[in-house]
Amino acid sequence: MQLELQGITKRFGSLVANDGISLSVTPGQVHALLGENGAGKTTLMNVLYGLLQPDEGEIHIDGKAASFHSPKDAIGAGIGMVHQHFMLVPPFTVAENVTLGIEQVRPGGLLDAGRTRREVRDLSHRYGMDVEPDAIVEDLPVGIQQRVEIVKALVRNASVLVLDEPTAVLTPGETQELFRIIRQLRAGGTSIIFISHKLKEVQEIADTITVLRRGKVVGERKPPATEADLAALMVGRDVQLRVTKAPATPGDLVLSVDSLVVPAAVSSVHGTPATASTQAPVNGLSFDVRAGEILGIAGVQGNGQTELCEALMGLLPVAAGSVSLNGKDLTNATPRARLDAGIAYVPEDRREDGLVGSFSVAENLVLNSYDRKPFARGITLNLSTIAANAMARIKEFDVRTESPAAPAGSLSGGNQQKVILARELGEGTKLLIASQPTRGLDVGSIEFVHKRIVEQRDQGVAVLIVSSELDEIYALADRIAVIYEGKITGFRPPDVDAAELGRLMAGGTDLPNTSPPEDAVSEWEAQ
């Protein structure tokens, strides 16, 4: 299928999300759509998939104009789309999800479950995906769920497959497996539109790269294109791809964590209840952070990082150990008390935990302080001061929003993260805890976030960074602590060899056993 978009324009009020965009996708091609968050990539693909109607421009398939008023029309024309946030029904099986809406029936109207299973098994095996048709989707790892979405599109005879930020939730190993599947699809004649903001990924997988900036096409490249060239096209200026910072000058001890235990019997904000026999996700963990330094916590995701951050913020109770800030015990303090003590928190899931999506940008910028001066007088909000604060913070942090009154949930991921940073990085911050601070962000937003974090360090703030991206740990950390199964397995300088970090991340250790008393969790559960 030859696909062409000609002069596509889409407006939302005064905001022009797509401004006369044209591009062509040939059969068996991986065409990458590269751009910052908010550049208009997803909007363009939603137009192609019939979720949005263009204000101007046309879609042509094999030289003929096509009009899609719904995803059904796009699917009928051979276009499939795998959204960044999967469109699956978690309690259903793989086969039920794949054939939802196009179910096969036997005479008499009964579902032909056997035929459905065979089709799913045969199609997934043909492309090396090997998805089990009877598996329940909510029990599958996220990488396998993504395969289900791809199979769902292929069952509907997609000739063009749109992948919207497909690696945002994948591990490096899952990403490479996805790339293998993409290459196999390409070899079979399927065209792939690969939406991303990750320079290395588009360099590795794309045949053609179209770069968008603020709703317009600003360039087209073919690999090998340099990272510097692509980044400059994305952002409109030269981008510093490496963090520049002076050596740290650590000061007084700020955060002290001693033998911390978070019991598995308690759910995390994003987790599910565990059995009492499950190992504690944070299991005798100890470290310190001083003023004017960045401690980076490195490790494979799922080794207690989320529970550690939530326990440090008082969102999870602890079974044993202690947390203190500037010598003051905060082990059992409320989240509000920790914020008042000078802890700033950037959570890993900005949409669920960092913002209230239906609230305005201005309201989100005062979530921690709306009930005190100068933003409140008694029980009355000072709306003019809140609005003035929003204008100042939006300008300082370059938040791209239609207005301070716009819902925070309508912003791109990078701009949502800027709102959180603008709220959290204020006067009086003693400790900054940033969990996965650049997850899902483009190169320009990453540069901005890293610069702000280093500025906090240089102003004497103690900084704790938790990241599953080793490049980010190397770039920011003055010291590296490696976490494995809820324990610190070693501390290393930022110039440590990656192989040594890998050894510690796999459970190797040179530290003495710091496990908590065996009965620590059971004593907590009995209380």
What is residue 268's predicted lDDT score, i.e. its pLDDT?
Answer: 45
Say which CATH topology domain 242-342+432-527 has.
Rossmann fold (3.40.50)
For the chain, give the number of residues: 527
Give residue 177's identity as a one-letter amino acid code: E
Please report, for the chain, the start and end positions of each structural domain, with discontinuous segments joined by +. Answer: 3-235, 242-342+432-527
- Report the range of poorest mean pLDDT among 8-22, 163-177, 205-219: 163-177
**pLDDT bracket for residue 240 (50, 70, 90):** low
Q: What is the mean pLDDT of residues 161-185?
A: 84
Q: What is the pLDDT of residues 59-82, one digit of tens each?
A: 999 999 999 999 999 999 999 999
| Whether domain 3-235 has CATH 3.20.20.80 | no
User: What is the C-alpha separation between 112 and 132, in angstroms, rounded?
Assistant: 17
Q: Is the model's pLDDT at 321 over the cut of 60? A: yes
What is residue 273's predicted lDDT score, i.e. its pLDDT?
Answer: 42
Work out the angle between the directed axes of helices 142-155 and 113-126 (0-180°, nearest 10): 110
What is residue 241's predicted lDDT score, i.e. its pLDDT?
Answer: 62
Q: What is the pLDDT of residues 332-366, one digit of tens each?
A: 999 999 999 999 999 988 888 899 999 999 999 99
Q: Report whether 43 contacts 64 (CB < 8 A).
A: no
What is residue 21's predicted lDDT score, i.e. its pLDDT?
Answer: 97
Is the model more confident about 19 or about 276?
Answer: 19
Q: Report whether 316 contacts 252 (CB < 8 A).
A: no
What is residue 6's predicted lDDT score, i.e. its pLDDT?
Answer: 96
What is residue 379's predicted lDDT score, i.e. its pLDDT?
Answer: 86
Q: What is the mean pLDDT of residues 442-449?
A: 80
User: What is the C-alpha separation between 501 and 476, in angstroms, rounded?
Assistant: 15
Asked whether this chain's domains 3-235 and 242-342+432-527 adopt the same fold, the reply is yes
What is the rounded average pLDDT for all residues in the chain?
Answer: 87
Quick one: tokens of 389?
């604060």
Quick one: tokens of 308?
């550690």
Q: Is the model's pLDDT at 498 over the cut of 50? A: yes
In this structure, the dihedral spanned by the alpha carbons of residues 363, 46, 81 and 79, taken in order and rounded to 10 degrees, is 170
pLDDT over 90 percentage in the chain? 55
Q: What is the pLDDT of residues 5-28, one digit of tens each?
A: 999 999 998 889 999 999 999 999
Instruction: Supply angle C-alpha 389, 345, 365, rounded to 5.
Output: 20
**pLDDT bracket for residue 278 (50, 70, 90):** low
C-alpha distances in Å from residue 260, one per residue of 448, 462, 492, 504:
33, 19, 21, 19
Comparing CA positions, the residue from 279, 367, 267 lying closest to residue 310 is 267
The secondary structure element, H or E, covering residue 195 is strand 191-196
User: What is the C-alpha separation between 152 and 37, in angstroms, rounded?
Assistant: 27
Residues 6+ apart with CB under 8 A from 490: 481, 482, 504, 508, 509, 510, 511
**pLDDT bracket for residue 171 (50, 70, 90):** low
Q: Report whether 455 contacts 77 (CB < 8 A).
A: no
Is the model more confident about 262 or about 300?
Answer: 262
Q: What is the mean pLDDT of residues 96-108?
A: 82
What is residue 359's predicted lDDT score, i.e. its pLDDT?
Answer: 95
Q: What is the mean pLDDT of residues 16-42?
A: 91
Strand residue runs (E) in 26-116: 30-35, 56-61, 64-66, 79-82
- How many CB atoms are located within 10 Å of the residue 336 CB? 10
- Report the range of poorest mean pLDDT among 108-117, 269-278, 424-433: 269-278
Strand residue runs (E) in 314-470: 320-325, 328-329, 343-346, 376-377, 380-381, 431-435, 462-467
User: What is the C-alpha separation between 361 and 407, in angstroms, rounded?
Assistant: 6
